[in-house]
Amino acid sequence: MSQKQKPDLAAALAEIGGSTRRAPAAPFRTSSPATPRKSEDATPKNGGEEAKEVYQQPSRVDTAPITAHFPRHVRDQLKILAIEQGSTLHNLVAEAYNDLFAKYGKPEIAPHQSMTVGK
């Protein structure tokens, strides 16, 4: 007698919600060429010259900062947790965002950075 395997409810929900946890993670883009961009702050006030091009870190191309202010002990605890888990603050925050997205039925789109040994 062979037992019929039960459907995996978690996998079905993850697939419907667009979860990336069960799929292989897309590699974090670190080798993209540096892109000069027009600086919004460098726009000439007199209207006579072109805006200057400003160097942008390759890892920050097509990204935007998300900031929030919490008491210092919250940041300290996050750093301790990152060390205990052998991770980075970025990866912990990405995991937290993905958990939040999953909770509300949104695709888990926050990328994790690949970890390199010896860093």
Per-residue pLDDT tens listing for the chain (119 residues)? 566 777 777 777 777 777 767 554 444 444 445 555 555 555 555 555 666 788 888 988 999 999 999 999 999 999 999 999 999 999 999 999 999 999 999 999 999 888 765 54
Residues 53, 99: one domain? no
Determine the pLDDT at residue 53: 82
Determine the pLDDT at residue 102: 96
Residues 118, 70: one domain? yes
Instruction: Please name the amino acid found at residue 80.
Output: I
The answer to whether position 20 is within a domain reads: no
Residues 71, 118: one domain? yes
| Domain containing residue 52 | 32-64
Determine the pLDDT at residue 15: 74
Determine the pLDDT at residue 55: 87
Determine the pLDDT at residue 83: 96
In the numeric block, which tokens belong to residue 115?
């970890």
The answer to whether position 37 is within a domain reads: yes
Considering its fold, how many domains does the chain have in total?
2
The answer to whether position 87 is within a domain reads: yes
Determine the pLDDT at residue 51: 67
Residues 100, 113: one domain? yes
Residue closest to 20 by CA, chosen among 118, 114, 101: 101
Are residues 17 and 108 in contact, defined by beta-carbon separation less than 8 angstroms?
Answer: yes
Determine the pLDDT at residue 43: 52
The answer to whether position 19 is within a domain reads: no
In the numeric block, which tokens belong to residue 47?
């209207």
